[in-house]
Chains A and B, each alone.
Chain A
Amino acid sequence: MSASEFRGYLNAFWGGLTRVSWASLLTTVIVLLTLGASTLAIGEKLLIGRAASYIPLHGEDFYALATTEALRMEHSAGSRPALVLLGGSATNESLAEASEIERMLRGAGLDMEVFRLTTQRQNLIESFALLERLPDDRPAMIVLGLGPSRFTWTRAQLQKTIRFPRLGLRSEFLDVVSRELAMEPVPQTGLYVLDNFNFLIPRTLPALGRYFRGTSTPINRFPNNGRVIDKEEWVTRGEQIMKRWANYNRKFAFNADLLTLIIRRVNSNPRWEMVLIEHPLNPAFIDEFLGWERYGNFLERMETISTEERVPFWRLHVEAQLTSEDYFDWAHVNNDQARDRCTRVLLDHVKDVWMSGNES
């Protein structure tokens, strides 16, 4: 091939590349349609396995972690009994990593698979959505972390978490729950991508970037470890948290209805056991902001729910003898020793309940 021939070919290619033509327009349309159709075909199973490590936006994106973990719980063929941990950030920071809990359980003679489904400020609608992914035929113990703040969600805020979910787990079952609570359900298409648009869209480009770089998101499960709060932030946080307590009685009743729905759903399955745990609560926060009377009132109500619904309510932080020095702020544990104590207390109870359940 001569140099002029080569230049001619190069010009022809460059001409095709730089001029708009029917061929280029048609290709654009085909690419758009193909990518669009492939995107719609993406299902829940894509978020399990390796993809799960690309999905979290950052190290504390517990919504993504809980979503992928719940999907793994649903689709994995595991037959070991499951220990499902639900709750907010205070519960999250009071319990050891799943692998560590599994190791401790094995040491106690229990072979269980642990699913850590904790997220920041998890509400009971979200707990329900996560729990729904537990297969009915799998024996399981469900541990739900609660504190007085869990009952401060308003109907409007919960409605918003149905309309703009933080988890990628929208389902028809949630619609049923929404209707039971007189909340407007969101129409479903049956296509995972469309039904979980809010969850997926912000995470897509960062996840693609990590996929092509071959790096996963480093997870920071205990973001408050080693942190000490200063006086100014302590007051700011305390006042901010206390804003949740406006109209507490009305909010408590509504959220308690949700909790009852969850407990009854679990108790309707003979393979499942449910326990409620009180997540850590800094006594200094009760002293300075919440007040012991208000707190006592919460405990009384929890005891009532526990008795009426026949579900244990364990106060881990009391049994683990946590002190104010074990906290970063109002409820978040800031050291491994305190976390280890809480975990051990929980697992001692889990062992007792599980063993007695399996004997009968």
Chain B
Amino acid sequence: MNPEQIAKVLRHTGAVFQGAVIGVLLVLAIIALLATSNAVQLFRYQGF
């Protein structure tokens, strides 16, 4: 593999890594947002 091909592979690896991190963070952020709204509902009426 010549240096250009290696650089291309590394560039794509970086892009995949970026995509994976953003994907995981997005999932965690969605859960956190939902949790905030649901947690309110969850605890509000425990005191019936």
Interface residues of A (CB under 8 A from B): 5, 8-9, 12-21, 23-32, 35-36, 120-121, 153, 157, 160-161, 164, 166, 197-198, 201-202, 204-205
Contact = CB atoms under 8 A, between A and B. Distances in A.
Interface in B1-35: 3, 6-8, 10-20, 22-24, 26-28, 31-32, 34-35
Given A14-B14, A120-B46, A24 B3 contact: no
A21 B34 contact: no
Given A35-B27, A160-B45, A27 B10 contact: no
B30 to A, nearest CB: 9
Contacts of B31: 201, 204-205
Given A5-B3, A120-B46, A166-B46, A16 B18 contact: yes
B24 A24 contact: no
B13 to A, nearest CB: 6
Contacts of B18: 16-18, 20, 24, 27
B19 A31 contact: yes
A17 B13 CA distance: 8
Contacts of B41: 164, 198
B15 A27 contact: yes
B43 to A, nearest CB: 8
A202 B42 contact: yes
Interface residues on B, range: 20 to 34
Contacts of A27: 15-16, 18-20, 23
Nearest to B3: A5
Contacts of B10: 9, 12-13, 16
B15 A157 contact: no
Contacts of B34: 197, 201
B19 A12 contact: no
Interface of B: 3, 6-8, 10-20, 22-24, 26-28, 31-32, 34-35, 38-39, 41-42, 45-46, 48
Contact of A12 (B11, B20, B28): B11
Contacts of B22: 24, 28, 31
A18 B26 CA distance: 17
Given A14-B14, A16-B14, A26-B19, A31 B38 contact: no
A8 B11 contact: no
A12 B12 CA distance: 9
Contact of A24 (B16, B38, B45): B16
Given A18-B18, A24-B15, A35 B39 contact: no
- 6 residue pairs, one from A and one from B, having the closest CB atoms: A16-B14, A27-B19, A31-B23, A17-B14, A23-B15, A12-B7
B19 A24 contact: yes
A201 B38 contact: yes
A306 B24 CA distance: 55
A30 B17 CA distance: 12
Given A25-B19, A28-B19, A164-B42, A13 B11 contact: yes
A105 B18 CA distance: 58
Nearest to B12: A23
B44 to A, nearest CB: 9
A5 B22 CA distance: 29
